């Protein structure tokens, strides 16, 4: 249990307090700067511990229980995010930590003529498809919203790109033989609320979307079984859509008919976006709809914020761009806070749902601080806003990001 006065944790805190005490001593000795001693008196900032979860590198903990873990930034230097560093986001406290594959079954039922019950081996005997796709949490970058909003306080690390392998959902639905009035398909996993009053995490797709060939029931991620924390043994992969639809540890696919549209909490009350892109805390939009496709984003991966760069030497810039499935057509960067832009070179094309690597070279002309910015344009001509969007849920941020570096 996660009690506040848990013993081992207390010991760790003591060591930190010793640090504090030494810091105070240094401060009194007049050696530490004023800023330093001021910080001692302040209440601790948002605490950000890194923990190693089973099968994971040390990751920033947004929440221990249900586990929400953020990918360390350096892993975005790779086009495919390694499984052990892939971000983790569960909603409900009771998550699977073991699965007995002898009894585990994927069930497809509801408004179908031939309900299915498939073991993992049965799934693996079906025709497999692979697709590279970005999985990004709707609330990625929420901690940068201003005014701040409640929810998991993610930095930019609630995203990852992987090669997903599995059975196309449409093949399963065809095999189950949808009845004529099939309208929506719901997806439920092994996770459960700690109390019966907590609504089960179930997501829905409309039938036409569920039949798109890119939607998979995936049992592999980057050529390996899914890590338990990323949804072992199978998860739904909905390329182009925010991760909230990518139900983990999927066990139940249920087809609903026209007369029974899905009214589950996680579709009707959570993960809603205002119909207009912007709303403000004082003027909340009245019309909201379930979040869907991702918007265009791009990031500078290297150099990182506050890096010191040498004067007069070319600096290699690189980063990633992605969108909701149109594919990235152009990436530009600016070293003067957005006054002038130049084209970056695009890297390997791993498919329109994937991260697209971009690279550029920049020679800083003089010493000082620079605001490096990057923006992308997708196949439909959509790009990123220069001012951040705000919504109460802290969803779908895609402002042009700025990274400060210092040329010395």
Residues lying near ligand HEC in the complex (CB under 6 A): 66, 91, 150-151, 194-195, 197-198
| Dist CA 107 CA 119 (whole Å) | 9
* Contact region with another protein (CB under 8 A), list: 4-12, 159-167, 339-347, 400-408: 4-12
| Dist CA 186 CA 204 (whole Å) | 4
227 binds another protein (CB under 8 A): yes
Return the number of the residue (97 or 339) whose C-beta is nearest another protein. 97
**244 phi, psi to nearest 5 deg:** -60, -25
Contacted by 43, from ligand HEC, another protein, none: CB < 5 to 8 Å by type = another protein
Q: Using CB under 8 A, pick the residue from 189, 231, 233, 274 that binds another protein.
A: 233
Contacted by 338, from ligand HEC, another protein, none: CB < 5 to 8 Å by type = none
Return the number of the residue (88 or 176) whose C-beta is nearest another protein. 88
Size of residue set near another protein by CB under 8 A: 77
User: Residue 325 burial (CB < 10 Å; 0-12/13-18/19+)?
Assistant: buried
269 binds another protein (CB under 8 A): yes
Binding mask 106-135 for another protein (x = CB under 8 A): ------------------------------
What is the token pair recorded at 353?
């749902």
Helix (H) or strand (E) holding 207: helix 207-210
CA 192 vs. chain centroid, Å, equals 21
Start-to-end C-alpha separation, the chain? 49
Q: Using CB under 8 A, pick the residue from 7, 150, 282, 366 that binds another protein.
A: 150
| Dist CA 44 CA 17 (whole Å) | 12
Binding mask 185-224 for another protein (x = CB under 8 A): --------xxxxxxx------------------------x
Closest approach of Cβ 284 to another protein, in Å? Answer: 12
Q: How many CA atoms lie within 13 A of 3 on its CB side?
A: 6
| Dist CA 207 CA 184 (whole Å) | 5
Q: Which residue has the tokens 């504090």?
A: 20
Closest approach of Cβ 30 to another protein, in Å? Answer: 9
């Amino acid at each position: 249990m996660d009690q506040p006065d848990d013993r081992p944790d207390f010991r760790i805190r003591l060591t930190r307090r010793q640090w504090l005490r030494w810091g105070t001593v240094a401060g009194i000795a007049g050696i530490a700067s004023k800023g330093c001693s001021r910080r001692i008196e302040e209440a601790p900032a948002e605490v950000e511990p890194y923990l190693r979860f089973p099968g994971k590198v040390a990751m920033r903990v947004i929440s221990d229980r249900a586990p929400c873990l953020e990918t360390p930034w350096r892993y975005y230097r790779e086009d495919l995010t390694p499984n052990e560093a892939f971000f983790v986001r569960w909603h409900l406290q009771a998550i699977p930590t073991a699965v007995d594959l002898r009894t585990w079954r994927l069930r497809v039922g509801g408004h179908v003529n031939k309900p299915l019950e498939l073991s993992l081996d049965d799934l693996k005997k079906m025709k497999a498809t692979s697709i590279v796709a970005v999985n990004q949490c709707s609330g990625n970058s929420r901690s940068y919203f201003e005014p701040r909003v409640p929810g998991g306080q993610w930095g930019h690390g609630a995203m990852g790109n992987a090669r997903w392998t599995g059975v196309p959902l449409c093949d399963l639905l065809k095999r189950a033989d949808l009845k004529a009035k099939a309208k929506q398909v719901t997806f439920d996993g092994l996770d459960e609320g700690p109390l019966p009053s907590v609504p089960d995490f179930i997501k829905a797709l409309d039938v036409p979307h569920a039949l798109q060939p890119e939607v998979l029931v995936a049992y592999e991620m980057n050529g390996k079984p899914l890590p338990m924390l990323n949804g072992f043994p199978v998860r739904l992969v909905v390329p182009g859509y925010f991760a909230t639809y990518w139900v983990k540890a999927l066990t139940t696919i249920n087809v609903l008919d026209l007369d029974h549209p899905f009214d589950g909490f996680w579709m009707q009350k959570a993960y809603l976006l205002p119909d207009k892109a912007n709303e403000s805390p004082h003027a909340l939009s009245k019309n909201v709809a379930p979040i869907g496709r991702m918007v265009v984003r791009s990031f500078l991966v290297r150099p990182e914020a506050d890096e010191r760069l040498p004067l007069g030497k070319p600096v290699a810039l690189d980063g990633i761009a992605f969108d909701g499935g149109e594919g990235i057509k152009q990436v530009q960067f600016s070293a003067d806070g957005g006054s002038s832009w130049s084209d970056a070179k695009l890297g390997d094309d791993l498919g329109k749902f994937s991260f697209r690597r971009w690279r550029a070279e920049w020679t800083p002309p003089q010493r000082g601080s620079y605001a490096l910015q990057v923006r992308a344009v997708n196949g439909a001509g959509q790009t990123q806003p220069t001012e951040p969007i705000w919504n109460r849920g802290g969803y779908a941020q895609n402002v042009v990001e700025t990274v400060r570096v210092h040329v010395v």
